[in-house]
Amino acid sequence: MSEKVIMLGNEAIARGAFEAGVKVSSAYPGTPSTEISEYLVQYKDDLYEEWAPNEKVAAEVAVGASIAGVRAMACMKHVGLNVAADPLYSVSYMGVNGGLVFVVADDPGLYSSQNEQDTRMVARAAQVPVIEPSDSAEAKEFLKAAFELSEQYDRPFIFRITTRLAHSQGIMELQERADIEDKAYEKNIRKNVMMPGNAKLRHVDIERLNKELAEAANTLPINTVEMNDTKIGIITSGIPYQYVKEVLPQASVLKLGMVNPLPRKLIEDFASKVDTLYIVEELDPVIEEQVKSWGIKAIGKEIFTTQGEYSASMLRKAILKEEVVTKTPAQAPQRPPILCPGCPHRSVYHVLNKLKMHAAGDIGCYTLGAVAPLSVVDTTMCMGASISTLHGMEKAKGKEYIKNWVAVIGDSTFLHTGVNSLMNMVYNNATGTVMILDNSTTGMTGHQEHAATGRTLQGEPTYSIDIETLCRGMGIKNVIEVNAFDLAELEKTIKEETAKDEVSVIITKSPCVLLDKSKKPVYISYEDKCKKCGMCLKPGCPAITKNTDGSVYIDDTMCTGCGLCEALCKFNAIELVKAGE
């Protein structure tokens, strides 16, 4: 007898992988996909899961497992697919042995991303099929279908979800794990070695297989037709289906579970039966452009936006022309993004701000060094770009130009794509200073392990990459480790290293304050000693506020005892006290 449970979308995907008989999963943490791998750990007796240094490596690990004959997947967010694009485009030609699925989480609305790209566009370019669920229950079942179709049609699949699905809950029935027999490995140079001659032949094969899959899509059970009132017909997929059903419960709906390739016959038949056809899809007009290219009249982005998440209210206004009146929301005080109390990045940025330095930034918590009052980070583009950006500035303007610049990058991001960028600086005779802000975790996505933490995703101890040794191994002579909270030493080091005419690396080592959840010593302020100079307020610690008379107050429920405020106070108005005193 099956058990009914409530699961998050990401948890349902992990369960789907378990039930599908997946044996290998590799991933790099990236919101909103991170929790998939964290939920997978509960099944570690049945399948292997790991954190890879980046998404390219994760994809290649999954490909290797597929070639060996087992079901495998790689998980990432949409910008991570860019990093994995090289193996993706080639394995599209190669095909699979064991089922192969790339789970990719898009982020409409930019909740935690630097862009809003649509993975379906990448998949079309790579000629990779795409399946998209509309709720948690479908996420579990559609993932199982993706593995079956992958093996049936010799195609890797992309399983596309969005933030809303990843982090919303639904009811589903648990089932037993499928007993999938490993496929035998057979040496096949023509299929698995993508040299030009073989790739040309494989391109012909995948075009044929994609046509067969497109034809099969017309009858696949993951594409469903709900015929009701034929005055309005809606073609949709994924989370937007939920909004369509809320706003237009009587409309006829074609819900696509497979969004690439599209089931042309099914779409043409559905379109012929409705008076007015709408295509409702978030982000790019991927479905719309193809449908219109077939001569089918439809309404899409003429009335719908290509930006952000959709909503029921938006559909009411666009389709039904209803004026949506909403209650004025509670006027909560604004809470701009800010570094946590006790964050070691704050002290680093305070010193850089004091020295009037500019920073080429990267992807991580430390991106918040761009906002007031720290206001140090000038650029943020993608993982690992800080180092390459600084290098490009130097080659454009000369070594004197970057004397007041540094590149800042986290420990996990450095291992993700920063290593190659630093290697490029050494190889091409650069002189810039790189600051690796080592907080001993992958902080922004929720404290995941990485290759320098000494522990795997499964919680097993492992060799910890020594970042200092790694940098020295590249031939960098100037590699200095500094405590992020030693302000005097940090300032001295930055001045010395940025003045040199050779590559320097400063590693600021202080663990993320949230790694230790136990109560720490805290600081208190004495109003009678406070001179109201404001020095302790400059780093912008949220635990410190200004009283009406200009003196400061330290909230002991927020203070983590980092000591930055005490180090800045010259009047002994801030003092360390033990927790509970």
Q: Please indicate, yes or no, whether residues 34 and 120 belong to a single structural domain of this protein.
A: yes
- What are the pLDDT digits (tens) for 43-87? 999 999 999 999 999 999 999 999 999 999 999 999 999 999 999
- Kindly indicate the confidence band of residue 581, based on its pLDDT and cuts at 50, 70 and 90: very low
**530-557 as b/e: b if 16+ CB within 10 A:** beeeeebbbbbbebbeeeeeebbebeee
Position 339 in a domain:
no
CATH value at residue 229: 3.40.50.920
Q: Please indicate, yes or no, whether residues 537 and 423 belong to a single structural domain of this protein.
A: no
**225-253 as b/e: b if 16+ CB within 10 A:** ebeeeeebbbbbbbbbbbbbbebbeebbb
Which residue type occupies 511?
P
Is 565 assigned a ligand-binding role in the annotation? yes
Domain count, the chain: 4
Q: Please indicate, yes or no, whether residues 72 and 209 belong to a single structural domain of this protein.
A: yes
Position 495 in a domain:
yes
- Kindly indicate the confidence band of residue 1, based on its pLDDT and cuts at 50, 70 and 90: very low
Q: Please indicate, yes or no, whether residues 250 and 140 belong to a single structural domain of this protein.
A: no
Q: Please indicate, yes or no, whether residues 114 and 235 belong to a single structural domain of this protein.
A: no
CATH value at residue 543: 3.30.70.20
**Domain end marker among 477, 509, 541:** 509
Position 516 in a domain:
no
The answer to whether residue 520 scores a pLDDT higher than 90 is no
Query: Residue 301 and residue 278: Cα distance in Å, rounded?
Result: 10
Is 512 assigned a ligand-binding role in the annotation? no
Q: Please indicate, yes or no, whether residues 415 and 496 belong to a single structural domain of this protein.
A: yes
Is 569 assigned a ligand-binding role in the annotation? yes
Q: β-strands 24-27, 72-77: how paired? A: parallel
Q: Please indicate, yes or no, whether residues 35 and 179 belong to a single structural domain of this protein.
A: yes
Say what the pTM is.
0.91
Position 330 in a domain:
no
Position 328 in a domain:
no
Least confident of 58-72, 253-267, 404-418, 436-450: 436-450
Is 541 assigned a ligand-binding role in the annotation? yes
Q: Please indicate, yes or no, whether residues 284 and 415 belong to a single structural domain of this protein.
A: no
Is 536 assigned a ligand-binding role in the annotation? yes
Is 533 assigned a ligand-binding role in the annotation? yes
Position 148 in a domain:
yes
Q: Domain of 282?
A: 223-320
- What are the pLDDT digits (tens) for 37-46? 999 999 999 9
Q: Please indicate, yes or no, whether residues 91 and 197 belong to a single structural domain of this protein.
A: yes
CATH value at residue 129: 3.40.50.970
- What average pLDDT does the structure give for the chain? 93
Q: Please indicate, yes or no, whether residues 171 and 25 belong to a single structural domain of this protein.
A: yes
Q: Please indicate, yes or no, whether residues 360 and 463 belong to a single structural domain of this protein.
A: yes
Position 332 in a domain:
no
Q: Please indicate, yes or no, whether residues 402 and 539 belong to a single structural domain of this protein.
A: no
Position 514 in a domain:
no
**Domain end marker among 474, 509, 544:** 509
